[in-house]
Amino acid sequence: MIDGVLLKGYGGFYYVYGEDRVWECSLRGRFRIKDQEFLPGDRVTILPKEEENKGTIESVAPRRNELTRPPIANVDQAILVFAMTSPKPDLNLLDRLLIQAADSDIEPIIVFTKVDKYQETVLQGAPNLYELTEDYRKIGYTVFEVSSKTGQGIPEIGDRLKNKISVLAGPSGAGKSSLVNALSPGKELKTGQISSKSKRGRHTTRHVELMVCSGGLLADTPGFSSLLLPEMKRAELADYFPEFADFLGGCRFNSCLHDKEPNCVIKAALEEGRISPVRYEHYLLYLKEVIEAERKY
């Protein structure tokens, strides 16, 4: 028996990565009878056949987690890819993805791409966004600034992929496919272009599968244009903002939502510059959404 990870299912066959190779597998009869759904990332045990690199899936382990978009199981970390320029980073989307990752118990890693292009814009008088990347580091997130063109930061990203199942997420045109190409030379995933009219990227990824990349397994996923917040109660939203943690419990009212209530320690920290105004603005935006969603269910 060989333990492996399902990479993809196609045409009635399942491709499993185990012992440093890919096995083409069929299903044991009991799985077909149960009509069980398999997802990339499922940890399975296979029985090799006499034919080279072929086998039968004998068992599947319980899932640690499961994503619906993209449909992948047992994800360890999410690589959240945003360009420093062309297009400008959508921080609203980034903060939504950070909440989504936390809700799924997945470690987020923030990657800002196109550093080489951004440095050219700085020379032309563009705002300095390195303060932005440092703000996320101070909160406690892992952040990388990379350039797929010059190779800056690529080895460090590769080290974080080893022995883990990772997903890519972020807006189209942010450089996800270029990042994968830089991490795995020879893969040559199709890269998107930025529309000259909208300055937004075009979708280039058509399906989801895991690929062997830098000693781990990586899924390239369609770029997200919007992302709903997970279902939660209004009082739970603050728990998704790690920078609030040191202050929670110090408000005048136990039920404080850190919005319009008096004697709120979160608002005091904001005034003292200890909490990012942009992040707090997003918190208020999400709070309205959560309250509205509560009313619906």
How many domains are contained in the chain? 3
What 3-state class would DSSP assign to 47?
A: strand
Taking phi over 0 as left and psi of -120 to 50 as alpha, with beta for the rest, 58 belongs to: alpha
What pLDDT is attached to residue 34? 62
Q: What is the CATH number of the domain that holds 147?
A: 3.40.50.300
Q: Which of 196, 219, 242 is the last residue of a domain?
A: 219
Q: Is residue 227 in a domain?
A: no
Residues in the annotated binding site: 113-116, 170-178, 251, 256, 258, 264
Same domain, 105 and 191: yes
Q: In this structure, are 41 and 133 located in the same domain?
A: no
Where is the domain boundary, 42, 62, 82?
A: 62
Please list, in sequence order, all residues whose beta carbon lies within 8 angstroms of the beta carbon of residue 74, skipping any fewer than 6 positions away: 5, 41, 42, 43, 63, 64, 65, 165
Same domain assignment for residues 195 and 131:
yes
Low-confidence ranges of the chain (pLDDT < 50): 188-206, 223, 225
- Does 49 lie in the same domain as 28? yes
> How many angstroms separate the CA atoms of 276 and 136, rounded?
9
- Distance CA(269)–CA(226), nearest Å, equals 29
* Residue 142 falls inside a structural domain: yes
Positions at the binding site for GTP: 113-116, 170-178
Is residue 228 situated within a structural domain?
no
pLDDT for the residue numbered 71: 84
* CATH number of the domain to which 247 belongs: 1.10.40.50
User: What was the pLDDT predicted at 202?
Assistant: 40
- Annotated binding residues for Zn(2+): 251, 256, 258, 264
The answer on 129 and 46 residing in a single domain is no
Same domain, 197 and 104: yes
pLDDT at 38: 87
Residue 247: CB atoms within 10 A of its CB come to 19
| Domain hosting residue 58, numbered range | 2-62
Q: What pLDDT does 172 receive?
A: 82
- Note whether residue 224 is domain-resident: no
Shared domain for 201 and 108, answered yes or no, is yes
Contact 212/202 with Cβ under 8 angstroms? Answer: no
Give pLDDT, residue 223: 45
Q: Tens digits of per-residue pLDDT, 117-175? A: 877 766 665 566 777 889 999 999 999 999 988 899 999 999 999 999 999 888 888 88
| Domain co-membership, 86 together with 202 | yes
Q: Is residue 250 part of a domain?
A: yes
